[in-house]
Amino acid sequence: MSFDVLVRNARLATMAGDGYGALENAAFGVQDGRITWIGRDADLPSDVADETIDAEQRWVTPGFVDAHTHLVYAGDRAREFEMRLEGATYEELAHAGGGILSTVRATRAASAETLFAIAERRVLRLRAEGVTTIEIKSGYGLDVETELRLLRVARELGARCDVRVRTTYLGAHALPPEYAGRADAYIDFACGEVLPRIVREGLADRVDAFCEGIGFTPEQTARFFDAARAQGLGITLHADQLTDTGGAALAARYGAQSADHLEHTSEAGVAALAVSGTVAVLLPGAYYVLRETQLPPIAALRAHGVPIALATDSNPGTSPIESILLILNLACTLFRLTAAEALAGITRCGAQALGLGDEVGTLERGKFADFTLWDIDHPAQLAYALGVNPARGVYRRGRLLKPSAN
């Protein structure tokens, strides 16, 4: 047996099975970008390889998966952050024309080149912390041309930044000003005009909606999902972030890949997720920035066996975070996840949330050789330290990714 790349003398957090799936004094071989052998270094069937990497007893994890981001946008909302500190609520800002709509205005005015340049820096910062797979949503255009532009930029980011990108058409994100007071007409527009264009160009892997009192009703969300499912697209949902609208149960009814946020989800909603196999994606960054007090139903999710993924929710308003390692710490300190649960949330469970569980998320034979070498003594250190990036090398399909100056 020969390999393109052989990693030896490693300590592997495979993230397969319980805990870290740790394997000491380990090795794995890569052929055509996939792991073709993995096990103890002493059991290697061959050491013939075009390139051999001596891990020097460093820990190796799977490439991280950031399963919920809004990375492509223009402008910022620092002033709104300041206003929230002075007492304004997220809902009040949204009703006053701020919030998502302020980002829509800035994004509509930005060219594709500008959007790419800004988003590229965000992607490369995440990649430097071991992220090799990223979900990127649209939703800051809310018209035909800008939504197409955002999704094209997202696809281009994957190609030019050498990360795996899954794109999501977040058509039901907010009501644009030209449809003020006409939410049903906007859903007709998103389903009848924008969605067909996106499908024809192959720009989205799935759709998403903000099912909330300041967003869209369950009935409007269901119409949007019906149109998407008819076009063969997957489904995810911003569910029960601010109130319990039955979003988790709605996501489960449509067999969604994931239901995200979930702070106000009832146990009945959690049970529905368990039956449908839908992954819970928790977003501690938004919880922290908004200073929320209602925790997601962690105990119920554990009790019902719902996989728990984590993501940055990187966006200009409620989670201006571009550090997946920070998310690990926030999940442990705010949500009381264990370090192993948190790491599973951005590897194995994150991959499941994007429908990529057979491709990435663990170090196993047959999966893509996306991995990171870390200067740490134990995997728990990844969630422990704040403001530290101990990544020694980030690899995708067995190839070292060039560090970015960003």
146: pLDDT strictly greater than 60: yes
- Supply the pLDDT for residue 405: 53
**pLDDT reported for residue 263:** 98
Res 403: pLDDT: 82
Residue 152 forms part of a structural domain: yes
d(CA 106, CA 205): 25
Q: How far apart are CA 82 and CA 70, in angstroms?
A: 21
Sheet holding 258-261, edge to edge: 64-66, 131-137, 164-172, 206-211, 234-239, 258-261, 279-282, 308-310
pLDDT surpassing 70 at residue 332: yes
Q: How far apart are the first and last CA of the chain?
A: 39
Does any domain span residue 151?
Answer: yes
* pLDDT range class, residue 82, cuts 50, 70, 90: confident
pLDDT tens for residues 47-69?
899 999 999 999 999 999 999 99
Residue 122 lies in a domain: yes
Same-domain check for residues 53 and 123: no
Quick one: 212 and 105 in the same domain?
Answer: yes
Region 356-368 average pLDDT: 98
CB of 112 closer than 8 Å to CB of 153: yes
- The answer to whether 373 and 383 are in contact (CB under 8 A) is no
> 208-236 pLDDT, tens per residue?
999 999 999 999 999 999 999 999 999 99
Domains held by the chain: number:
2
Residues 217 and 307 in one domain: yes
The 10s digit of each residue's pLDDT in 1-15 is 899 999 999 999 999
Distance CA 47, CA 198 (A): 47
Q: In this predicted structure, which of 37-51, 77-91, 159-173, 293-307 has the lowest mean pLDDT?
A: 77-91
Same domain (yes/no): 31, 125: no
Q: How many CB atoms lie within 10 A of CB 43?
A: 11
- Asked whether the predicted pLDDT for residue 70 surpasses 60, the reply is yes
Nearest 5°: the CA angle 337, 342, 343 is 155
Report the share of the chain in percent with pLDDT over 70: 99
Residue 341 and residue 392 share a domain? no
Answer for the pair 373, 392: CB distance below 8 angstroms, yes or no: yes
Rounded Cα distance between 341 and 387, Å, is 21
The pLDDT score that the predictor gives to residue 97 is 63
- Looking at the fold, whether 302 and 209 belong to one and the same domain comes out as yes
Q: Does 405 fall in a domain?
A: no
What is the secondary structure of 323-371 as a DSSP string? -HHHHHHHHHHHH---HHHHHHHTTHHHHHHTT-TTTSSS--TTSB--E
* Residue 46 structural domain: 2-61+362-400
| pLDDT per position as a tens digit, 376-398 | 999 999 999 999 999 999 999 99
Q: What is the CATH number of the domain that holds 144?
A: 3.20.20.140
How is 119-188 classified by DSSP, letter by letter?
HHHHHHHHHHTTEEEEEEE--S--SHHHHHHHHHHHHHHHHHHT-EEEEEEEEES---GGGTT-HHHHHH
Q: Does the pLDDT of residue 96 top 70, yes or no?
A: no
Neighbours of 24 (CB within 10 A): 10
Q: Is residue 406 part of a domain?
A: no
Give 84's pLDDT tier (boundaries 50, 70, 90): confident
Among 234, 222, 159, CA closest to 191: 222
Residues 374 and 326 in one domain: no
Number of H helices, E strands in the chain: 16, 16
Structure confidence at residue 168 (pLDDT): 98
The reply to whether 240 and 175 lie within a common domain is yes
Per-residue model confidence (pLDDT) at position 95:
66
Percentage of the chain modeled with pLDDT above 90:
91
Distance CA 350, CA 358 (A): 12
251 with 288, same domain: the answer is yes
Whether residues 33 and 70 share a domain: the answer is: no
Strand segments, DSSP code E, in 270-326 are 279-282, 308-310
| Model confidence band, residue 40 (pLDDT cutoffs 50, 70, 90) | very high
The reply to whether 249 and 278 lie within a common domain is yes
How high is the mean pLDDT of the chain? 96
For position 392, which CATH number holds? Answer: 2.30.40.10
Of 289 and 403, more confident: 289
Q: Is residue 244 part of a domain?
A: yes
405 or 156, which is more confident = 156
How far apart CA 334 and CA 329 sit, in angstroms, is 8
Any domain includes 246: yes
Cα(392)–Cα(58) distance, rounded to whole angstroms?
Answer: 9
Does the residue 252 lie in any domain? yes
| pLDDT tens column, 240-282 | 999 999 999 999 999 999 999 999 999 999 999 999 999 999 9
Considering 353, 375, 391, which residue would you say is the last residue of a domain? 353
Dist CA 22 CA 11 (whole Å): 7
DSSP state of 307: -
Give, in degrees to the nearest 5, the angle at Cα 66 between 64 and 68: 165
Find, among 243, 89, 94, 110, the residue nearest to 176 by Cα.
Answer: 94
> Same domain for 193 and 285?
yes
Strand partners, 315: 319
